[in-house]
Structure 1
Amino acid sequence: MNPLLQDFNTPPFSKISNEDYKPAIKKGIEIAKAEIDEIINNTDVPTFENTTVALDFTGEKLNKITSIFFNLNSAETNDEIQKIAQEVSPWLSEFSNDITLNEALFKRVKSVFDSKETLDLTPEQTMLLEKQYKSFARNGANLKEADKIELRKIDAQLSKLSLKFGENVLAETNAFELHLTNEEDLAGLPESVKEAAKEVATSKDKEGYIFTLDYPSYIPFLTYADNRELRKKMAIAAGKKAFQDNEFNNEKIVLEIVNLRHQRANLLGYKTHAHFVLEERMAETPEKVIEFSNNLLEKAKPAALKEFGNLENFAKKLDGIDHLEKWDGSYYSEKLKKELFDLDQELLKPYFKLENVIDGVFEIANRLYDLKFEEVSNIDKYHEDVKTYNVTDTNGNFISVFYADFHPRKGKRNGAWMTSYKSQQIKNGINERPQVSIVCNFTKPTETKPSLLTFNEVTTLFHEFGHALHGMLANTTYNSLSGTSVSWDFVELPSQVLENWCFEKEALELFAKHYETGEVIPMKYVEKIKESASFHEGMQTLRQLSFGLLDMQWHGSESPQTITSIKEFENNAFANTKLYPDVAENCMSTAFSHIFQGGYSAGYYSYKWAEVLDADAFEYFLEEGIFNKEVATKFKDNVLSKGGTEKPMELYKRFRGKEPKPDALLKRAGLL
């Protein structure tokens, strides 16, 4: 029996084999189609219940199966899974089109939508109806038959291309290693970094040390290695991922994706892909996004140029370097930071043992939102590294299942993300609770040391856990509006706001304890962390804005078919935000997974947009106390639990009492 087709509560990972996926997905599609047919063939007049709600509850089986499959394709993949993904993705995009391009179904949905003024709907019901109608209208339901066929073709191509894009990036990440046997080449590297590199070499039956493009290996190398030539080698290897003359080159794929997205938008009556995407975001239009970005750029650029000038002078004074290159940035920044704040990342790491940080984030969730986390061993998992928890509230009510997967390995893509295996919903009077997961790539424990996090990794854990809280605390009726199913430029608010607790003494004292002595992080370090929080914030802001503006250039272009050179296009897009000299053999777009594989196309600006919200929201906590129950409850009731049931700005104003202003962000970033 296929375990994916059985009834299960949590995913039966250990019972699933790769052969199970295709037949299960096929069957899942069949079941979902039968559910759709039932709605269409209903002879009763279309109502909110028999059409809108019925449609929202379709495809549950399929969603469960595909969420398992695609989560593993990111976190625990192999050649076989990638091959299956290439096969099933077109099936799924075809099925999705079968729904949105189904005339009989759209007729029923439209009939309910057109009568909405006469229905006595709650705000959540109204939102469900509007979103459902728009998902049809925005995906071709009103198109002529020939255009519908064209749309299907485009969607099938896009689903395959974005998968291939990601596979190429992963292959390039895995293909590179820097193998060092000469101790002198390791000068400057902390012991923990050397030890980890030695273990990688040993695992590959090699002498010496191996450094890879996985973040826990790559970032420390660029930050600490004294050997400038080797830093250059690493940086260039990272920067030319999928931009080399080999089978993993993504240049053609980028142009194809951009052109297909543009054609799709035109077909649906939009000027560009960015216009199509932003219609359903807080930002509303590309013009607004560009205005928002340029306003921040105006504030950040003078600061960034000044910071860069100081860094150049510092590198010249220290090592006689005339021109800073990209592989010098992290190295001299770290040294300058140490000089200015007497703060060394390596000094901080012993206070951030992974297990303690996890306990810390759980304790903070407990104080703010009354949650308790209990690690359990009776939930099936897909890899031994994964930790599993039952989450309850302080009254013992079950809230969520929580999975956490923290360390890099061969079949796992770089970066960090939150995902879910099951959304919360209320069905037949039962509040079905969610199953949420976070996946990160943190330094692994070694033979002599536990996993000790850099401060940056600590904030990453808090960030992903913020997303997880958004999923766990969901309390809506309909699953399509539940948890993180919100406007994309609102989704980063819960994640980014939680990062703020990492900088507060009251929070740090809960978990930042030396892994050997148990000593709480000294106050002078906490002060230095706070002091240095806005260090090089101008340069950081410029960098974030440059990515967002590159994304908008790709997706806001009215004639992408005229773009021939990716490199040239990218250089033009970066012209106004550039600090370091260009590296001819490097290109960002060919490995910009957020926009070409993830869901951030025409949406990368969201990180900065949400920073305005998060700084403004956290200011409220600071005014009342970072563990103030009243403010936390307001945030939980109006933001975390509400999902996409109302317009984001309405929810935000209900929590905060007013619209957000960028002042709090500029103040926090030291840019005022």
Structure 2
Amino acid sequence: MTNPLTETWDTPFGLPPFDRIEDAHFGPAIDAALEQARAEVGRIAESAEAPTFDNTIRALTQAGEELDRVLGVFFGIAGAESTEAREALMRELSPRLADHASDIHGNRALFGRIEALWQERDALGLGPEEARVLYLTRRSFVRAGAELEGPSAERLKAVKARLAELGTAFTQNLLADERGWRMELDEAELKGLPEFVVSAARAAGEAAGAEGPVVTLSRSLVVPFLQFCPDRDLRRRAWEAWVSRGAMGGETDNRGIAAEILALRAERADLLGYDSFAEFKLETEMAGRPEAVRDLLMRVWEPARARALEDEVRLTAMLHADGQTGPLEPWDWRYYSERRRRQEHDLDEAELKPYLQLDRMIEAAFSVAHRLFGLEFAPLDAALHHPDARAWEVTRDGRHMGVFVGDYFARGSKRSGAWCTVFRGQRKLGGEVRPHVVNVCNFSKPAAGTPALLSWDEARTLFHEFGHALHQMLSEVTWPQIAGTSVARDFVELPSQLYEHWLEVPEVVAEFATHAETGAPMPEDLRDRLLAVGTYDTGFETVEYIASALVDMEFHGPEAPADPMQRQAEVLQEIGMPRAIAMRHATPHFAHVFAGDGYAAGYYSYMWSEVMDADAFAAFEEAGGPFDAETARRLEVHVLSAGGSDEAAALYTRFRGSMPGVEALLKGRGLLDAA
């Protein structure tokens, strides 16, 4: 059988030939690529030649390129367009790939060659990038257990393989719960909902094969339903299903998986000589140690909690004025907060949403990138992984910079959330390779013939993910392991969160926020009210986020909790969590932390990066405006194009001159007066 995954791709810019790729192609292609990678690594380790940078580090970097190529396609679409075959292959692959990585890091001969180079590093005459790659390569081997021997090495290998299995199971259980629940609505239950919510519910019902409109657990539908539905019982049903993802009992319940993951992570850290998984994880991050993370989170928690409690009093009064009794509940907050926003700020999301067309917000993101960095975007006719996905060629001064793919609409085959990934990353090693970057979102798909409309938060999400995409597309390094977003976890969110600021620039809103029916620009009065309310409800938003971040840190302390749900409840009680606010991500659906260890003991990183993004945007304001050319040039040179070529603090300091304090963050969230 001809397998397009093993062929040279004669496609626009070498994009994967999705019109020819079938699920049956992945398994054989990955098997062959794994075998080839093992042989390549074996030749390096067994070489009789004395180790040199080229025959060891360069060769190791290039070993497995075919495997990276095939896996880039598979993992690039696995979360965005899942099928039963892909999910089964993912379950099979996870432990195999973990074993492959363990075999490489546990190869004593290979590590011996790397260690020999490390000991002689000052005499090798390496350039800055090569010296960085040698340092990172050795560090990754040591942190993966290369110095362990005997039973300890074998146990670590088994632990990592099991963790890979559990992370895959957690993700697939969550997806099953999200696509398995829906709440059908009759016409009477649509009363009081704005038209854009009704339209989204009808479209969701049609996609699900239901007879009428439905509410699903897609964030783009359930959140506006909670904001606008006047029926308290319906809000409660939707909210309880939403927060119960991963904890609905049966085969898809994630609570036992979470407990086992935490126990295995603690064992992994112990095998490697660390007091806790958090210490192990933070060793390579900007924060450095758990105490620094807790200090930051608590410095923001106290003023945020105080603001949230003030808001709770106001919202409770509105609840009681409606004739309801008892306290404000979590399923009430968004509804009464939306009503309060309309009353106090004369801002109605139903009035706002027609001005936030998806296509116009994409144009806005592209326009800002052009003004800041000279990038241009041209639609690209290419076969992609789903009919809803779109592609653009990215150029600058005639030079091809990469391909950008946007996959924006929610569907049952797509996991929740929004993310940036790559089919292939940037590198110059072995020749110039430009990236294929993918933004995946979960916006409600409109009815046929009508434009997709976003909420303000969704427009911010679009800009956020595009900031990640710029980090990939502007990357200009030789070595793939330091390209693009290959940086410290608490630095990776800086470009994405910084880019959100340009959505709030008045001239951007004035140009691209145009009415879906009339084409008229957003009225100045509405625009001013929108921008003035930027810090509204930040007490709620900050509390739900920090609660999740603190629970994450506590989970990864010296002792793994035997019952994560009990420990979650204890942590929330210890910090005084307001009863009417829930964690943004409760344990059974906390995919950031349990789907893999990327954000484990690292969910705090959004806030760590926010300290910098507030300060970084201030650099533009101090220089005279949001499109200051020299500030944009420094941002590109020292942050966006540099990847992981140096420590994150060094890169940021070169851009800004010094590291910031937490005051800019508190000011940006409107919490200084609550501190």
User: Normalising by structure 1, what TM-score?
Assistant: 0.96
- 1:43 deviates by 2.6
The alignment partner of 2:486 has SS state of: coil
1:455 aligned partner, one-letter code? W
Contact 1:170 1:413 in 2 (8 A): yes
Name the stretch that deviates more: 284-293 or 636-645. Answer: 284-293
Contact 1:503 1:529 in 2 (8 A): no
Q: Does 1:435 align with 2:436?
A: yes
Give the share of equivalent positions with the same residue, in percent: 37
- The residue that corresponds to 1:639 in the other structure is 639
- 1:201 deviates by 2.7
- The residue that corresponds to 1:23 in the other structure is 28
1:168 aligned partner, one-letter code? N
Contact 2:494 2:609 in 1 (8 A): yes
Residues 33-65 of structure 1 deviation map (CA, whole Å, 9 limit, x = unaligned): 222123223333212222122212221111111
CA distance in 1, matches of 2:599, 2:413: 23
1:211 aligned partner, one-letter code? V
- 1:318 deviates by 4.3
- Of 237, 251, 255, the residue aligned with 1:251 is 255
- The residue that corresponds to 1:200 in the other structure is 204
- The residue that corresponds to 1:406 in the other structure is 408
CA distance in 2, matches of 1:583, 1:60: 44
- The residue that corresponds to 2:17 in the other structure is 12
The alignment partner of 2:428 has SS state of: strand
- 1:319 deviates by 4.4
Residues 167-215 of structure 1 deviation map (CA, whole Å, 9 limit, x = unaligned): 111111111110122x221222111221222233344454332111111
Contact 1:278 1:284 in 2 (8 A): yes
Name the stretch that deviates more: 395-404 or 18-27. Answer: 18-27
The alignment partner of 2:312 has SS state of: helix
CA distance in 2, matches of 1:398, 1:636: 17
CA distance in 2, matches of 1:25, 1:37: 18
- 1:565 deviates by 3.1
Contact 1:174 1:213 in 2 (8 A): yes
CA distance in 1, matches of 2:302, 2:207: 49
Q: Does 1:106 align with 2:111?
A: yes
- The residue that corresponds to 1:234 in the other structure is 238
- Of 54, 58, 70, the residue aligned with 1:53 is 58
Contact 1:616 1:662 in 2 (8 A): no
Q: How does 1:261-660 map to 2 (within 5 A)?
A: 261-377=265-381, 379-393=382-396, 395-428=397-430, 430-447=431-448, 449-556=450-557, 558-560=558-560, 563-575=561-573, 576-580=575-579, 588-598=586-596, 599-624=598-623, 625-660=625-660
Residues 63-90 of structure 1 deviation map (CA, whole Å, 9 limit, x = unaligned): 1111211222200001221111111111
Name the stretch that deviates more: 467-476 or 26-35. Answer: 26-35
CA distance in 1, matches of 2:323, 2:75: 48
CA distance in 2, matches of 1:370, 1:283: 33
- The residue that corresponds to 1:69 in the other structure is 74
The alignment partner of 2:443 has SS state of: coil
- The residue that corresponds to 1:160 in the other structure is 165
Contact 1:542 1:577 in 2 (8 A): no
Indicate how the Cα distance of structure 1 residues 319 and 612 shifts in structure 2: closer, same or farther if over 3 A, else same.
farther
CA distance in 1, matches of 2:133, 2:81: 34
Residues 224-266 of structure 1 deviation map (CA, whole Å, 9 limit, x = unaligned): 0110000000001111112122111111100010001110110
1:603 aligned partner, one-letter code? G
- 1:309 deviates by 2.0
- 1:431 deviates by 2.2
Name the stretch that deviates more: 250-259 or 70-79. Answer: 70-79
The alignment partner of 2:617 has SS state of: helix
CA distance in 2, matches of 1:202, 1:500: 36
Contact 1:424 1:475 in 2 (8 A): yes
1:33 aligned partner, one-letter code? R
Contact 1:308 1:539 in 2 (8 A): no
The alignment partner of 1:247 has SS state of: helix
2:564 aligned partner, one-letter code? I
- 1:320 deviates by 4.1
- 1:321 deviates by 4.4
Contact 2:482 2:644 in 1 (8 A): yes
Contact 2:379 2:392 in 1 (8 A): yes
1:566 aligned partner, one-letter code? P
User: Normalising by structure 2, what TM-score?
Assistant: 0.96
5+ residue gaps, structure 2, are none
CA distance in 1, matches of 2:31, 2:140: 23
Name the stretch that deviates more: 204-213 or 288-297. Answer: 204-213
1:414 aligned partner, one-letter code? S
- The residue that corresponds to 1:669 in the other structure is 669
Name the stretch that deviates more: 206-215 or 366-375. Answer: 206-215
- 1:574 deviates by 1.4
The alignment partner of 1:283 has SS state of: coil
The alignment partner of 2:184 has SS state of: strand
CA distance in 2, matches of 1:645, 1:26: 32
CA distance in 2, matches of 1:343, 1:582: 23
CA distance in 2, matches of 1:206, 1:422: 38
2:81 aligned partner, one-letter code? E
CA distance in 2, matches of 1:225, 1:299: 30
CA distance in 2, matches of 1:149, 1:530: 57
CA distance in 2, matches of 1:371, 1:205: 42
Q: Does 1:92 align with 2:97?
A: yes
CA distance in 2, matches of 1:492, 1:132: 23
Residues 20-39 of structure 1 deviation map (CA, whole Å, 9 limit, x = unaligned): 11111111111112221232
Residues 433-463 of structure 1 deviation map (CA, whole Å, 9 limit, x = unaligned): 1111000011212135210111111000000
Name the stretch that deviates more: 259-268 or 3-12. Answer: 3-12
1:357 aligned partner, one-letter code? M
- 1:582 deviates by 8.5
Indicate how the Cα distance of structure 1 residues 424 and 582 shifts in structure 2: closer, same or farther if over 3 A, else same.
closer
CA distance in 2, matches of 1:279, 1:203: 46
CA distance in 1, matches of 2:415, 2:600: 19
CA distance in 2, matches of 1:524, 1:119: 64
Residues 113-146 of structure 1 deviation map (CA, whole Å, 9 limit, x = unaligned): 1111223323322211111001100011000121
The alignment partner of 1:424 has SS state of: coil
- 1:509 deviates by 2.0
CA distance in 2, matches of 1:206, 1:103: 58
Residues 337-372 of structure 1 deviation map (CA, whole Å, 9 limit, x = unaligned): 111110111111111111111111101000000000
Q: How many residues align?
A: 664
- The residue that corresponds to 1:139 in the other structure is 144
Q: How does 1:181-220 map to 2 (within 5 A)?
A: 181=186, 183-220=187-224
CA distance in 2, matches of 1:193, 1:541: 26
- 1:311 deviates by 2.2
Residues 476-519 of structure 1 deviation map (CA, whole Å, 9 limit, x = unaligned): 01000000000000000000001011111022123111122221
Indicate how the Cα distance of structure 1 residues 311 and 612 shifts in structure 2: closer, same or farther if over 3 A, else same.
same
CA distance in 2, matches of 1:49, 1:356: 48
